[in-house]
Structure 1
Amino acid sequence: MKTSNKFTLSRIILAPVIFLIYYIPVWVGAAAGSPLSVASVCVAIPLLAFAEFTDYLDGHFARKHNEVSDFGKMFDPFADVFLHLSMFTCFVFAGYMPVVFYVFIFYREFGQNFLRMVAAKQGTAIAARKGGKLKTVMYVAACFFALIQEFLVRTGLSSSLSLNMQLLKYIGWGFFGVCVLLAYISFIDYLKNFGKLLKSAAE
């Protein structure tokens, strides 16, 4: 496997790993401030940071080693969605992300995936466009903002510092709201540029 695709694959592998690490304390009923609860979030944050960094690494090595391919153009955004939907699932159940935002993002990503499949069937690999990349950056920002809130709760800092967690949650909802907005703006852009492939495939 090419080096760039190995980095992409690492995001797919890390997605369920981070999900499990995040949720194990919840499943076993570990209280906030307990060693397991604190360790969980302290491991999840750098793991997610590394997973997101691989998105830069796969593109860097693809260009450096001339490994840009149609497969990579589809594999990279798939890995991004795989990772981010895994994290969003954690945040929906924790209350950091409104379920309606999650559902609309879910619809968008599956719609985009269908468009990529139709395009691939017709010999066109749809690479990430600027709008899609901006959307992904916002996904990353929203994920870390939610994870930081969980860090504050699990470590007990939210209480010791007398933080207004409700206000932080509402700010986080704003982040996710922008995610939805950018997701659909970029999806419309993809449809404008590649919608003809859907039309021709349906005829």
Structure 2
Amino acid sequence: MTLSNRFTLARAIFAPIFYVLFNLPIWLNSHTLGVVSACIMIPLLAVIEVTDYWDGHYARKYNEVSDFGKLFDPFADVILNLTVFLCAVEAGYMPFVLFVLIFYREFSQTFLRMVALKKGVAIAARMGGKLKTVFYIIAGFFFLTLESYTRFAFPFIPEFIDNIIKTSLLWSTRTLFVICVLLSWGSFIDYIKSFHSILKGSD
């Protein structure tokens, strides 16, 4: 396996690890684990998200760009981002209907890539898809900031200020989730328009 694909693989492997890390304090009803997880979730996710840059960088640097990499990279992104969003749903921050809309979009896009691959065309990420991914990441970090703040439960912050902070973060996060849905379906429509000839010619 090439170096660039190893970075991509790291994102796919990290997804279930993140899910367990997020939920373990809840499953064990442990405030201590909750604080520990609040300290490491954001930095850990930041590091793993950087691998999305590294895989592309090294693929170009060592001439490792391949059709497999063009499929594997967005697949790893989807697995990781859907895992983060699933945690947001379970924590009550992301409406389930928004998650379902994103889930349908992502797997419809995967189907489109498979159809294109059958025709000998590897669909690389377009600008709309890249913008969508950026907002996925931003929304994920906003959600984790809110959850980490809640898990810390700062006792020295006055209640009314605490409520303002939580409410502001919550509505900012939910607004970003809505934007993610709009961008995801907008980019999907763009993919369909750009590659409609491939779909039209499918058996």
Indicate the residue corresponding to 2:185 in structure 1: 184
Calculate the TM-score normalised by the size of structure 1.
0.94
CA distance, structure 2, for counterparts of residue 189 and residue 65 of structure 1: 31
CA RMSD of aligned residues (A): 1.3
Map residues 20-169 of structure 1 onto 2, 5 A cutoff: 20-30=20-30, 34-157=31-154, 160=157, 162-163=161-162, 164=164, 165-169=166-170
CA distance, structure 2, for counterparts of residue 21 and residue 136 of structure 1: 22
Task: Check whether the contact 1:101–1:180 (CA below 8 A) recurs between aligned residues.
Answer: yes
Q: Could you list the runs of 4 or more consecutive aligned residues of structure 1 that deviate by over 4 angstroms after TM superposition? A: none
Establish whether residue 7 from structure 1 lines up as the match of residue 4 from structure 2. Answer: no
CA distance, structure 2, for counterparts of residue 193 and residue 73 of structure 1: 17
1:119-151 C-alpha deviation (Å, 9 max, x unpaired): 111111100011100000000000000000001
How many residues are treated as equivalent by the alignment?
Answer: 199
CA distance, structure 2, for counterparts of residue 176 and residue 158 of structure 1: 29
1:167-202 C-alpha deviation (Å, 9 max, x unpaired): 321221100000001101110110011122112114
Which SS does the other structure have where 1:201 is aligned? coil
Q: Which amino acid aligns with 1:108?
A: R
CA distance, structure 1, for counterparts of residue 138 and residue 154 of structure 2: 21
Task: Check whether the contact 1:135–1:186 (CA below 8 A) recurs between aligned residues.
Answer: yes
CA distance, structure 2, for counterparts of residue 51 and residue 105 of structure 1: 21
> Percent of aligned pairs with the same residue?
54
CA distance, structure 2, for counterparts of residue 44 and residue 110 of structure 1: 26
Calculate the TM-score normalised by the size of structure 2.
0.94
CA distance, structure 1, for counterparts of residue 85 and residue 27 of structure 2: 18
CA separation of 1:118/1:196 partners in 2, compared to 1, >3 Å: closer, same or farther? same
Q: Which amino acid aligns with 1:15?
A: A
Task: Check whether the contact 1:152–1:158 (CA below 8 A) recurs between aligned residues.
Answer: no
Q: 1:113, CA displacement in angstroms?
A: 0.4
Q: 1:166, CA displacement in angstroms?
A: 2.7
Indicate the residue corresponding to 1:18 in structure 2: 18
Establish whether residue 173 from structure 1 lines up as the match of residue 181 from structure 2. Answer: no
Q: 1:157, CA displacement in angstroms?
A: 3.1
1:146-165 C-alpha deviation (Å, 9 max, x unpaired): 00000100001387253221
1:13-67 C-alpha deviation (Å, 9 max, x unpaired): 111111100000011112xxx3211101222211111111000000000011010
Task: Check whether the contact 2:38–2:149 (CA below 8 A) recurs between aligned residues.
Answer: no
